[in-house]
Structure 1
Amino acid sequence: MAAFSITVNNKKHQVEVDPKMPLLWVIRDVIGLTGTKYGCGITQCGACTVHVGNAAVRSCMFPVESVGDEKITTIEGLSESGDHPVQLAWKEIDVPQCGYCQSGQIMAAVALLKENPSPTDDDIHKTMTNICRCGTYNRIKKAIKAAATARV
């Protein structure tokens, strides 16, 4: 066990955990934020995507000891009232079906738009590698384009 001071959604947390504990479990089980989902546990599906600094990170295998001084943003910290342009586009386009992967999809889309404010279809296809069990990929792409137009 080791003590870590991490900032999640602009709030400092003191946690005492195994340094190798995946960030996902620190966020969910220690801090109590359950918007970030567990999907596969091997960084393939992206349901656990959060931002560490400005990077989209699959938190299911990202050890808490690797966070360092970077700030962590989860879906709960993206906006206080769900009014981030990507969240609004998701609602407008009616992207989710089951909704399970959507927090990870949204976090990946926000990171994409920060890096590339006007992505092409090919850019979206190459960057958005999160898996959606329901296959809403066309609506995800449409929502990313709508959010880009809103100038995220």
Structure 2
Amino acid sequence: MKFAFYKGNSSLLDKLISWWMRGPYSHVEVILGEGPRGTYTIASSVPGIGVRIATHQTLPLDEWDIIDGPGNIDAARAWFEKRVGAPYDYVGLLGFVLRPATGDARGKYWCSEAALEAIGFPGAWRYDPNAMFDVITYSARAARA
């Protein structure tokens, strides 16, 4: 399974998330596959989109880091298909700023939370895209050792 981590700074929100989370990433998507029409991904994103399945023409490597990670792509697709249209969890995102806003809102997701829940990762609401990248890459290195 592959994950695409967005390191571009196309918006003020991207810049703020990267700065606040102290890392290069402001967003993550699960890659379902690649075909003649582009790269097929699933994610939860802003503004106002929430959980969705999308096709991108390309994922420019100067803006995206693509890594292999754990999980079953069919199970992840099924998880997202059940939740397409679920709202973005703005209050949960604020939980990274104000910890009392835990982010454990039922039926609302931000990108890394949705990606990690889709692969069955416990406590997914605790992870921003940078923390998710670290966990996935550490797990991959540990599995090879």
TM-score range, shorter chain: under 0.3
Larger radius of gyration: 1
More strand by share: 2
| TM, length-normalised to structure 1 | 0.27
